[in-house]
Structure 1
Amino acid sequence: MLKQRIITALLLMAVLLPALFYPSSEPFVLLSLLLMVAGGWEWARLNACAPTMAKAVGLGLGLALLAFWLLGGLEQTWRPVWLVSSLVWVGLAVVMLRRGVAGWSAWPAAIRLGLGLLLLACAWLALVQARQLGVGFLLSVLSLVWMADIAAYAGGRAFGRRKLAPTLSPGKSWEGVVSGLAGVLLLGLGWRWFDGQQLTDQPSLFTRLQTLGELVSWLAVIGLTAMSVVGDLLESLVKRSAGMKDSSQLLPGHGGVLDRVDALLPVLPLAMMLVTL
């Protein structure tokens, strides 16, 4: 399993990094579109769509986003979208984590499917426009989520005692959450120091947030870290409702696309909202 995970990760990096660092954003946008097709297909499967229908949903999402791109949508400012999608994510966190699996299953299938596709589209738009703000900015957002996950895993393994959400994700603990937050705060200090060396003209998320004031900027970082946990837990809730361990097996050793990006889905629009106030 570990060997398979490493091989898959290396192959993904071999595709992702050239697209990410290419001088123009087009290759990255195209690659992200393909990921959204896969994500839409997985989401349809998690919401009980038949195999053919699930493929049609994924392809339809990809074509809709492609049309949006070709019609110039990526060149516009979408502050209201960031605000609305962020509020929806916060609302889902409050409502669904309280109601649990049964509460999610009680929603009409069409609403569950449509809401998820809209949130995927918003996350894609935020991802692409984050890349347009600069590779450094996008990497800082990605690294926040990665650090929260890695530090939480390490801290949970070492100190975990109190379960965070035992019915949704038994491996997560409050100690892990605190460890993840500590890791992100240290990461933020590191990004600020790096930006201060003026080695790049692309300020990170953490430096951009600093313009809001010290207290507000660190509260924003805490909020972003919390939402990365929310994204993970909500996907776990949906998978349990569907009776699936992984969203798919597209990425051997890692599960599906949604399994890899679940924590990013709420963080991306929230980060864009904060830096475009």
Structure 2
Amino acid sequence: MLKQRVITAIVLLLVLLPAVFAPVAWPFALLTLVMVAAAGWEWGRLNGASSAASVSMGVVVAVLCLAAYLAGWVGVGGSPAWWIACAVWVLGGALAVKVGPSSWPQLPKAGRWVLGVAMLFTAWLALASAKVVGLNFLLSVFCLVWVADIAAYFGGRTFGRRKLAPSISPGKSWEGVWSGMVGVMVLAAVWIWIDKTWATGSPSLFTLLWQRFDAPGLLLALVFLCAMSVIGDLVESLVKRAAGAKDSSQLLPGHGGVLDRVDALLPVFPIALALSSI
């Protein structure tokens, strides 16, 4: 299993890194479009859609993303979509976590399907727009989520006592969440120092938040973004648990599915763009 995970990770990096570092935006937009289309297919399978309907959901997500790109929506500053996504994730995510996996299947299938398509489309639009903002900004948002997850894992294993959401994800603890937040604050301090010391070409998310809100606002924004990364993870875990599935799919051998890898990114990218647009 470990060998399989390593091989898959290497292949993903070989595909992802050239698109991330490309001087133009379209390779990254195209690659992430394929990823969210696959995630749309997974969402359909997890929410009771037939094989044909699940494929159709993936196609719909891809078509919407392509249409948005051709219409010039990518990179548009201050888009209301970021704030709408922020409100939906905060209110809907909190409600979903509160009611738990048993209540999720009681929602109408069509409503869950539309919600998934909208969620993935908005996340793609934010991902592609972040690339347009600048490489430094894009990488800083990715690293925020990754560091929060890594620090939460090790902090939870070391200090974890109180369960965060035992009916959804028994392995998560409040101590892990706090550890993730501390890790991100350290990351932000280092990144802001790097932005000040070297010419990075574009400001990072951390520098933008520092410039807009000063230190207290930066800390609150980081806590909020870390919390929403946890919400994204919990919502996907809730949907899988409600479906009786361990992974969203087996598209990524050793890693599960696309949703398993991007769940925490889905709310964070739109919210990061919303906060940085103030």
Assess same fold via TM > 0.5. yes
Contact 2:78 2:277 in 1 (8 A): no
Aligned equivalent of 1:216: 217
Counterpart residue type for residue 27 of structure 2 = P
The aligned residue for residue 135 of structure 1 is 135
TM-score by length of 1: 0.97
The answer as to whether partners of 2:76 and 2:129 remain within 8 angstroms in 1 is no
- Where does the alignment leave 5 or more consecutive residues of structure 2 unmatched? none
Q: Matched residues in 1 for 2:48 and 2:152: separation?
A: 32
Paired residue for 2:239? Answer: 238
**1:70 Cα offset (Å):** 1.6
TM-aligned CA deviation for residue 153 of structure 1 = 0.6
Q: Number of residue pairs matched? A: 277
Deviation larger for 101-110 or 243-252: 101-110
Separation in 2 of the partners of 1:110 and 1:47? 9
List per-residue Cα deviations over 1:17-58 (Å, max 9, x = no partner).
001101101111110111011011001111111112211210
**TM-score, normalisation: structure 2:** 0.97
Amino acid at match of 2:106: A
User: In structure 1, what residue type is equivalent to 2:86?
Assistant: S
Q: Which residue identity lines up with residue 248 of structure 2 in the other structure?
A: S
Helix, strand or coil for the counterpart of 2:92? helix
SS at match of 2:209: helix
For 1:14, the aligned partner's letter is: L
Distance in 2, Cα, partners of 1:127 & 1:194? 23
Deviation at 1:194, TM superposition (A): 0.6
**Aligned partner of 1:32: which letter?**
T
1:38 aligns with 2:62: no
Amino acid at match of 1:180: G
Deviation of 1:224 (Å): 0.1
Q: Indicate the residue corresponding to 1:88 in structure 2.
A: 88
Which residue number corresponds to residue 68 of structure 2?
A: 68
Question: How many Å separate the matches in 1 of 2:72 and 2:210?
Answer: 31
1: CA distance between counterparts of 2:75 and 2:202? 19
Listed as ranges, the gaps of 5+ residues in structure 1 are none
- How far residue 199 of structure 1 moved from its aligned partner, in angstroms, is 2.6
User: What's 1:182 paired with?
Assistant: 182
Shift in Å, 1:163: 1.1
- The 5 A counterparts of 1:237-256 are 237-256=238-257
Structure 1 residue 166: Cα displacement: 1.0
- Distance between the aligned counterparts of 1:104 and 1:110, measured in 2? 13
- Equivalence for 1:202: 202
CA RMSD of aligned residues (A): 1.1
Alignment partners' CA distance in 2, 1:137 and 1:76? 15
